[in-house]
Amino acid sequence: MTAHSFADRIAALDGPGGRLCVGIDPHPGILSDWGLPDTAEGATTLAQTVVHAAVAAGVTLVKPQIAFFERHGVGGMSALAQVIGQARSSGLIVIADAKRGDVGSTVAAYADAWLGVGSDFESDAMTAVAYQGVGSVEPLCEAALSAGKGLFVLVNTSNPDGWDIQQALVASGTTLAQHVFDGLVARQGASGLDGWMGCVVGATLQPQERAVQFPDPMPLWVLAPGFGYQGAQLSQLTTLFGGVSEKVIPTVSRSVCQDGPDGVVPAIVSHLRELQE
């Protein structure tokens, strides 16, 4: 890992409160509520407002949802590049919620786009899918390690359609979700470096609903979307994640935008207070 790598920076953050991640989701419904056009320009305005609010409220992590920019075509992707650059130049850690996954040279191309130094979309970390096999994300692992980036791989999502697949048993007798998680742990261990690898686990899942069991100590970061708008409460973080809570990166997205542009900073501060209390 390079100096000031993703692993170093996130390890330096103080507990789940310090690791609150604010999503940047220019959802068409939010754009409408804010009186903004459902265009690349509207998405840019909303995203820049959230970036400024994150800095003002004192959070460090932001997570732009790539799909809400992609839907606006070339203009939207140009806006995304601008927003990522602005966020990183403001000192924020950017996790690109790209959820990319494939095999071979295609994954290597994704790595160039989202983790490549000097890329238009260069981020500090990204999300990925490894249900083609954990080995399929190896080019992303190599890119993260060489550039001091982070990688968060989907393990246990909270959408109902994911239940049957993630709970399915593989040949070893573990669930598919557990199989992916164990593979990520092994890959991080093989690197000889800690802190660059994480998994994505939905916060709206109750512990008994999960298809994965966490070891103690927990070797990976847990990016946990689903707090706020989707129903999980930050005050329940310890109940939901138990002894793993200190490795959780709780994420809030649409809930910070529900009171309009002037309400973003107060909403983030409220979420921070909820975690601290």
Respond yes or no: is residue 63 known to be catalytic: no
Angle in degrees, CA 144, 168, 162, rounded to 5: 65
Measure the CA–CA gap between 146 and 81, rounded to whole angstroms: 22
Answer whether 13's CB lies under 8 Å from 208's CB: no
Answer whether 142's CB lies under 8 Å from 104's CB: no
Residues forming a β-bridge with 55: none
Residues forming a β-bridge with 95: 125
Answer whether 114's CB lies under 8 Å from 149's CB: no
Q: Which of 63, 99, 149, 247 is catalytic?
A: 99
Which one, of 195, 152, 192, lies nearest residue 4 by Cα?
A: 195
Which one, of 250, 223, 222, lies nearest residue 236 by Cα?
A: 250
Which residues carry out catalysis?
99
